[in-house]
Amino acid sequence: MTRLTLSHLLLPFLGGTTAGYTTLSDDTLRHISSPLSASSPSELDPFDGSLLSPILIPRVPGTPGHAAVQAHFINYIKSNLSPEWTIEWHNSTSKTPATGEKLVPFQNLIIRRDPPGMTREREGEMERLTLAAHYDSLYRPEGFIGAVDSAVPCAVLLWVLKELDGAMGKRWGEWEDDGLERGKGVQVVLFDGEEAWVQWSGEDSLYGSSSRLDTISLFVLLDLLGAADPTVPSFFGKTHWAYQNMAKVEERLRGLKLLESEPKAGRFLHDSERSNWNFAGYVEDDHVPFLRRGVEDILHIIPTPFPRVWHTMDDDVKNLDVATVKDWAKIVAGFVGEWMDLEGHFEGVVPGTEDEKGRYFVKDEL
Ligand SMILES: [Zn+2]
């Protein structure tokens, strides 16, 4: 779907609460994204083979490529995340423009980690940062890959979970559940059927009940990421504070020379100064059904204008900018780390030193 809509959607500007949002220190930011680390960022290399590249195939619902990508997700999660993560499939069926009367199955994948002791009965005491992207690909033109739409966003989200998994475990190992603090969980929702223009029906079961929607503290939707020079506006006054926090993470990472891309605009998230929310345009996307169901805290990370390759055969591996892909991963990891209050919970963060070129060494890499 993902089409531009100019609307008069006037969400009440209530501002947001910054309670519990903890800035990460420079040393922690360096640790997340150490350019000298041989570890995870290479998984986002489209040719590396371990995370992103297996997604870079046609993934039309009901086809073998789609099933292969689903299997890859599960394999990646099981081999890289701790057992505290739960995996849920939410199944539905729908007719699509491609299949006429034939019903096609759709499977949304939810990967979730809640604080210890938070059972289904205690969901009301919890809030979940919800990170989303769609994993299916457009059925036409035939052979369409959808590298930015949305293979890269899916890979970025899985990478972020892996990157922060240890720190989350450490934080919750020390967490005192005194019943006063609302437990913060996190979940990644990988949507299916986005490109088939599926209508959300009353019966489908993405969350099963509205109480599960109530647990969403912020819905962050990534789309069309991975091409060079993205410019991402702030779309909603209500979540502008969250946008500003993510923009701040980008600015600090750039200041610390931890990002590799050199966007023409100097940065991806350029809209922190925005203050006028009248007649706001927004981009119709997977978040709209949530919006209609009362999830108002939405942060939509989508470049506008869309990348040149959008919905063409050129949306493939050769038009990805690897530096931009990696930088998105680092920015999102930093933002999620701050949202989840992970400062002080990363293993091995020790004050480092810079060499003569300004590169940064953490002690154990010397
Ligand atoms: Zn699309």
Model confidence at 248, pLDDT cuts 50, 70, 90, reads very high
Distance in Å, CA 239 to ligand 1 centroid: 24
Q: Which of 149, 163, 194, 297 is labelled catalytic?
A: 194
Cβ-based neighbour number of residue 292 at 10 Å: 9
Distance in Å, CA 304 to ligand 1 centroid: 14
Which residue segments constitute the domains of the chain, with CATH numbers given?
3-365 (3.40.630.10)
Q: Which of 43, 223, 250, 321 is labelled catalytic?
A: 223
Is-contact 244 21, C-beta < 8 A? no
Q: What is the 3-state secondary structure (H, E, C) of 145-209?
A: CCHHHHHHHHHHHHHHHHHHHHHHHHHHHCCCCCCCCCEEEEEEEEECCHHHCCCCCCCCCCCCC
Give residue 194's identity as a one-letter amino acid code. Answer: E
What's the mean pLDDT when you consider all of the chain? 82
The predicted pLDDT at position 101 comes to: 80
Structure tokens at 191: 């949507």
Identify the DSSP state of 266: S
The C-alpha atoms of residue 265 and residue 346 are separated, in whole angstroms, by 32
Distance in Å, CA 109 to ligand 1 centroid: 18
* pLDDT more than 90, % of the chain: 52
* pLDDT more than 70, % of the chain: 79
Model confidence at 366, pLDDT cuts 50, 70, 90, reads very low
Indicate if the pLDDT at residue 162 is higher than 50: yes
132 - beta bridge partners? 189, 221
Indicate if the pLDDT at residue 273 is higher than 70: yes
Distance in Å, CA 138 to ligand 1 centroid: 6
Distance in Å, CA 25 to ligand 1 centroid: 36
Distance in Å, CA 174 to ligand 1 centroid: 42
Name residues whose C-beta falls within 8 Å of residue 176's C-beta, 6 or more positions apart in sequence.
Answer: none
The least confident of 81-85, 125-129, 169-173, 349-353 is 349-353
Average pLDDT over residues 54-68: 94
The C-alpha atoms of residue 299 and residue 31 are separated, in whole angstroms, by 26
Over the stretch 95-153, which tens digit does the pLDDT of each residue have? 766 667 888 788 889 999 998 888 778 887 889 999 999 999 988 889 999 999 999 99
The C-alpha atoms of residue 57 and residue 53 are separated, in whole angstroms, by 8
The least confident of 22-26, 248-252, 293-297, 330-334 is 293-297
Distance in Å, CA 17 to ligand 1 centroid: 32
Identify whether 223 is a catalytic site residue: yes
Distance in Å, CA 2 to ligand 1 centroid: 6
The least confident of 90-99, 138-147, 355-364 is 355-364
Distance in Å, CA 193 to ligand 1 centroid: 10
Over the stretch 62-77, which tens digit does the pLDDT of each residue have? 899 999 999 999 999 9
Angle (nearest 5°) at CA 136 between 144 and 291: 125
Over the stretch 279-296, which tens digit does the pLDDT of each residue have? 556 677 777 777 777 778
Average pLDDT over residues 211-221: 83
Is-contact 204 126, C-beta < 8 A? no
